[in-house]
Structure 1
Amino acid sequence: MRILVIETATAACSVALFQNGTLLAHNHDVVGRGHAEHLIPMIGALPDQGRADLILVDCGPGSFTGVRVGVAAARGLGLGWKAPVQGFSSLALIAAGDWPDGAPALAVAINGGHGQIFVQSFAAGPMRPLSDLKSLTPEAAGDSVAEHIILGSGAEALVAARGHGEVIASDPDAKNAMKIPENMRSERATPLYGRAPDAKPPSIRIAP
């Protein structure tokens, strides 16, 4: 089975193509913005233009725009190729990709905007969530997260706020998707924003 993995939820943008669990090809770049412009050429550069039997997509949390770009692309390709589309969490991808040997548990924290970070704890053997996904200030996250090792773009802020811990700055990378336990990469391919949208509908005033 061929599996295409799409990751656009953070400042990074990456794709990977697997054949029966073996990595065939991979593209990864830290783009910041402009995921829509980078993603399709990245997929097109893969063998057979990335055509696959199954598509896995990072559903977030992360950038609202990046999440939407990845999910929309995955759904569109899935429709065209008649391939199922499944989702996974960006925090799970980071944890699975950069888990230090021997660590029984760790937390992942990534920048979430508005002075907050998205944070979640995971246990090893096999990897599984220890807590729900939360969007918190670094100070609040420092009070609630007990794990010593913190991965991700928000790790430094969390550790600085609580005054102790080991920081591993990590970006999600599509090539690590097969390291996520299967039950954690078989979710519905719907955006996982982690908090309410920034934009709010305008209020409507009715004249008396």
Structure 2
Amino acid sequence: MILAFDTSTPACTVALFAADGSLFASRDEVIGRGHAERLVPLIAEMLDGHLPSQVLVGVGPGSFTGLRIAIAAAQGLAIGWDVPLHGMSSLALLAATAPGDGPVAAALAGGHGELFVQQFRRDHFRSTSDMLNLPASDAASLIEAPLVVGTGAEALVAARGQGEAAPILPSASNALKLPSKLRSLEPKPLYARAPDARPREAA
């Protein structure tokens, strides 16, 4: 069985998959800042005595504190159970949670009014842009997907002036929709980078 969980957003989301990849159980709770107190009890409730053979944890980008909590818990569980541990992209998980099957952009509110953003195609799921950290006004000129999901979706769509914003949160029940590349990351916080080129400042 595979245990997957993510606390990169206000959601504390946990899922357990059977050996054939089918979803065995899942829990999604919106708890804001209470991840440290709720995550491990929630995992224990869901496992109900089952022992996973692998742990998959969301590594960001997202809430710095949330990522640290999830990764520390994942490392402790993987060591205690003596099972492999892998990281998964939290933005990809958010995109995989979105309704529909067309192009989608994941946008999470970050610090200093900036957004973590990335675009994906969901046919043969893959990313179609770099993972970036930039103001909504800059993201508006780079993100083309008509559907934007996540805590930063409304800000991005407002700055762009078009598209649909869905302020949903990721669900670990969608973890195995991600291709291996996006769920075999190192179990350490993943930080989005600034774009290579920024708008030229006025002289």
TM above 0.5, one fold? yes
Could you say which structure has the larger radius of gyration?
1
In the alignment, which residue of structure 1 is the partner of 2:80?
A: 80
Regions of 4+ moved over 6 Å: none
Q: CA deviation at 1:125?
A: 2.3
| Unaligned 5+ runs, structure 2 | 195-203
Q: Is 1:43–1:50's contact at 8 Å kept on the other side of the alignment?
A: no
TM-score (norm 2): 0.90
In the alignment, which residue of structure 1 is the partner of 2:55?
A: 55
Relative to 1, partners in 2 of residues 1:13 and 1:109: Cα closer, same or farther, differing over 3 Å? Answer: same
Paired AA for residue 142 in structure 2: S
Give distance in 2, aligned partners of 1:99 and 1:193: 26
TM-score (norm 1): 0.88
Q: CA deviation at 1:133?
A: 0.8
In the alignment, which residue of structure 1 is the partner of 2:67?
A: 67
Q: Is 2:147–2:163's contact at 8 Å kept on the other side of the alignment?
A: yes
Q: Is 1:109–1:151's contact at 8 Å kept on the other side of the alignment?
A: yes
SS of equivalent to 2:158: helix
Q: Which deviations, in whole Å up to 9, do the C-alpha atoms of 1:102-154 show, x marking residues without a partner?
A: x1x22111111211110001123211111111111110110111221111111
| Unaligned 5+ runs, structure 1 | 197-208
Deviates more, 1:123-132 or 1:7-16: 123-132
1:59-208 maps to which residues of 2 (within 5 A)? Answer: 59-101=59-101, 103=102, 105-194=103-192
Q: Is 2:125–2:177's contact at 8 Å kept on the other side of the alignment?
A: no
Relative to 1, partners in 2 of residues 1:6 and 1:50: Cα closer, same or farther, differing over 3 Å? Answer: farther
Count of aligned positions: 193
Identity of aligned residues (%): 48
Deviates more, 1:51-60 or 1:40-49: 40-49
CA RMSD of aligned residues (A): 1.5
Paired AA for residue 135 in structure 2: T
Give distance in 2, aligned partners of 1:155 and 1:53: 35
